[in-house]
Structure 1
Amino acid sequence: MLRLLSGSARLAGVTGWPVAHSRSPRIHGTWLNRHGIDGAYLPLPIRPEDFSTVVPALAKAGFAGMNVTIPHKEAAFAVCDHVDEFARRAGAVNMLVFSERGIEGRNTDGYGFIANLRAHGVDPAAGPVLILGAGGAARGIGAALQDEGAKITFANRTPERAAALAMAMAGEVLPWERRAEALGDYALLINTTSLGMVHQPPLEMDLSHAHTSLAVADIIFAPLETALLRAARERGLTPVEGLGMLLHQAVPGFSAWFGVTPVVDEELYRIVAA
């Protein structure tokens, strides 16, 4: 069914540099069609040097808000008039809401990760968590897990980054070279690094020391099943893929911009994975 926009259509989008690879327009476009909403969600390629002037201009032009991806997550803090508490703890903004109050920054990565865990039947507070990586994703996911009552440990190839993040978040540090042998101490393993992504080196991770109850999550969604997740599945562990996190983290933004709380279901998964 052809959906035509009116002069009062609600507008939102995703910005990055580049942004053509983003699957967010497909997610939000599916929901807009499903709910018959007079609105559009656009890819907005913005050069880093233009970010601080273009984003406020879009707010003044009537946009409802936008998602923010690489390399703009730090710059997004600077353009915000308000940043919610979780985004401050996470150290990153991935969602902007434009209103009469100004520009508000939020972080939905942690929300999306926890929702995806639960969709896979995994209790985020089942036991200690080992997070591989020490970037913005590790921080956002770690903060969300702490809110659920989980004890978190970071392991990173650059130990200084893991130590700094652990200190900032009251977590613990595990040396990178001990990540495999220590698996028996954890209920959940999370890869937040780029290792295992298409065109990136593989993540070398021996799962033989894991308990059979271990859940293994990877925030990578290209490929849909990483080598880590395949190894977990073959061992009878619980794999948690990254595409679900992407879908669930989009829910709060769509709700804020278009006034409807959408549902993540199998149809959406098929459309976005295609």
Structure 2
Amino acid sequence: MIRVFTAERLVVKCKLAVFGDPIAHSKSPEIHRRFGDQFGLDVAYEKRRVKENEFESEVRQFFIDGGHGLSITVPHKWSAFQIADELSDEALLAGACNTLIASDEGFYGHNTDGIGLIDDLDRLGWSPTAKRILILGAGGAVAGCLGPLVARGPKEVVIANRSVGKLRRLVDRFDRGIRGISLTELDLQGAPFDLVINGISAGLSGSTGVELTDRIVNADGACYDLIYSTDDTPFLKMCGSLTDQRADGLGMLLAQAARQFELWTGFLPDPFDQFTDFGRPPDARSQLDV
């Protein structure tokens, strides 16, 4: 049984943390403290740099010391998956955990990345149902999103990746609705896609390594970058000449954090009232809306 720390039990501070390496850039402490403010909860949330060889011992000590819940970020999502005593369906499909909470059996591992993406797509009015969807990349971020995305009934999901072996392993986890191709085959897919999602982490360094054209992106379609940035991401800049419907991953970040907060406390906050705290308007899409 999961130990949810509801209001009656949160007479003391709700002790939360995020473990990762690097971790200095994380906005999670501010995000979760503001979630606590929505319900009058006193949230203590720290970010802690944890080395890979110390991860399990640090997790165990955190909960021994009275911790209520952990956010897990790179490079520890696979390690969290391995040490969890119970796993949600979302974590099993993703093969990774971004959330840990104490349970009667030990640790319960969950993954909120996918439902966070769906929550943000719903906010934007970009329902994946009956749509042709192209996903660039086959890494951990993409794996975390696939389960909830497929559950919404898209017409087709195509994943394009450089490494065919890695792509095949990811596609094999699912028994329906997903097809894998090489990045070199993008121009050979017939009709353009309704939604293109970028999960190539190289976008962080200024280059996606992919060229999109109007044969790939529908003129009425949308482009979504799982990465968020204080500037418009390279991927979204590239999409600027193809569609006006563009968004980065800030909404997903906020929405997946809200789902974590719900698991830990029993309360689901409104994630999107924090857009203004990031210098965005409440209905922000890409940085071009600022």
Q: TM-score, normalised by structure 1?
A: 0.89
Matched, 1:114 2:121: no
**Could you list the per-position Cα deviations for residues 14-53 of structure 1 after superposition, in whole angstroms to 9, with x for gaps in the alignment?**
1001211111112112222343212211112211111111
* Matched residue type, 2:31: I
Aligned counterpart in structure 1 of residue 203 of structure 2, from 188, 196, 200: 196
Query: Which of 268, 277, 286 does residue 271 from structure 1 map onto?
Result: 277
**8 A Cα contact 2:93 2:173, kept in partner:** no
User: Hey, which bits of structure 1, 4+ residues long, moved more than 4 A?
Assistant: none
Does residue 51 of structure 1 match 2:51? no
The verdict on how the C-alpha distance between 1:228 and 1:201 changes in structure 2, with shifts beyond 3 A counting, is closer
Indicate if the aligned counterparts of 2:163 and 2:182 stay in contact, CA closer than 8 A: no
Separation (CA, whole Å) in 2 of partners of 1:7 and 1:57: 22
CA distance, structure 1, for counterparts of residue 109 and residue 72 of structure 2: 10
SS of match in other structure, 1:71:
coil
Q: Equivalents in 2 of 1:138, 1:165: separation in Å?
A: 9
Deviation at 1:104, TM superposition (A): 0.3
Report the Cα distance in structure 2 between the residues aligned to 1:180 and 1:203, rounded to whole angstroms: 15
Pick aligned residue for 1:156 from 155, 161, 171: 161
Q: Hey, what does 2:140 align to over in structure 1?
A: 136
The answer as to whether partners of 1:203 and 1:228 remain within 8 angstroms in 2 is no
Residue 239 of structure 1 is matched in structure 2 by 246
Which residue does 2:172 correspond to in 1? 167
1: CA distance between counterparts of 2:245 and 2:148? 20
What is the match of residue 44 of structure 2?
Answer: 40
Matched-pair contact (CA < 8 Å) for 2:161–2:167: yes
Aligned alpha-carbon RMSD (Å): 2.1
The verdict on how the C-alpha distance between 1:224 and 1:145 changes in structure 2, with shifts beyond 3 A counting, is farther
Query: Please, which of 13, 19, 23 is the counterpart of residue 23 of structure 2?
Result: 19
Mapped contact 1:194–1:200 kept (Cα < 8 A): no
Q: TM-score, normalised by structure 2?
A: 0.85
Q: Residue 258 of structure 2: which of 251, 254, 261 is its match?
A: 251
Whichever residue aligns with residue 248 of structure 1, its letter is A
Q: Secondary structure at the match of 1:169?
A: coil
Task: State the AA in 2 paired with 1:186.
Answer: F
Deviations 1:157-194 (A, max 9, x none): 11221222222324212221122453734221111111
Quote how far apart the aligned CAs of 1:86 are: 1.4
Q: Which residue of 2 aligns with 1:103?
A: 107
Could you tell me whether the CA contact under 8 Å between 2:112 and 2:257 is conserved in 1? yes
User: Contact (CA 8 Å) 2:255, 2:272: kept in 1 or not?
Assistant: no
Give the gaps of 5 or more residues in structure 2: 1-9, 281-290
What residue in structure 2 maps to residue 207 of structure 1? 213
Using the TM superposition, give the Cα deviation of residue 100 of structure 1 relative to its aligned residue in structure 2, in angstroms: 3.5
**Match for 1:156: what amino acid?**
N
Deviation track 1:100-132 (CA, whole Å, cap 9, x = no partner) reads: 342100000000111111111101113121111
Asked if 1 retains the 8 angstrom alpha-carbon contact of 2:207 and 2:234, the reply is no
Q: Number of residues paired by the alignment?
A: 267
Give, in whole Å, the separation in 2 of the partners of 1:116 and 1:15: 24
- Counterpart of 2:173 in 1: which secondary structure? helix
- Name the aligned partner's letter for residue 35 of structure 2: W
